[in-house]
């Protein structure tokens, strides 16, 4: 099976969906999470998070849903 590199928004639903993949398929997937600019409101916080909060949330969400697996992070500029 060929590897799959989906580009996903770094939102709670996408992290949860990756975490629900069966281990059989997780080895073939390397998600690229696109981190929104720090001008978008976070649904869990109900406000725009700080850069430190964004970094902490990404690490926490990845650790819970995609532990010990390959992943890529990219960001959208706020321009």
Which pLDDT score, from 0 to 100, does residue 45 have? Answer: 81
**Which pLDDT value is given to residue 68?**
87
Distance CA 66, CA 64 (A): 6
Q: What's the confidence (pLDDT) of residue 16?
A: 92
pLDDT one-digit tens code per residue, 24-58: 999 999 999 998 778 888 877 889 888 888 889 88
pTM: 0.77
Cβ contact 21:68 at 8 Å: no
Please give the full DSSP string across 14-74, using - where no structure is assigned. Answer: HHHHHHTS-HHHHTTB--EEEEPPTTSPBTTTTBPPPHHHHHHHHHHHHHHHSTTS--EEE
pLDDT of the residue at 55:
87
Domain boundaries, the chain: 7-75
The percent of residues in the chain predicted with pLDDT above 70, rounded, is: 95
C-alpha atoms less than 13 angstroms from C-alpha of 39 in its C-beta half-sphere? 5
């Amino acid at each position: 099976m060929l590897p799959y590199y989906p580009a996903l928004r770094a939102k709670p639903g996408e992290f949860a969906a990756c975490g629900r993949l069966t281990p059989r398929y997780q080895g073939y997937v390397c998600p690229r999470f696109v981190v929104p600019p720090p001008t978008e409101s976070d649904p869990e916080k109900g406000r725009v998070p700080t850069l430190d909060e964004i970094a902490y949330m990404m690490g926490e969400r990845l650790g819970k849903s995609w532990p010990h697996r390959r992943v890529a992070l990219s960001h959208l500029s706020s321009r």
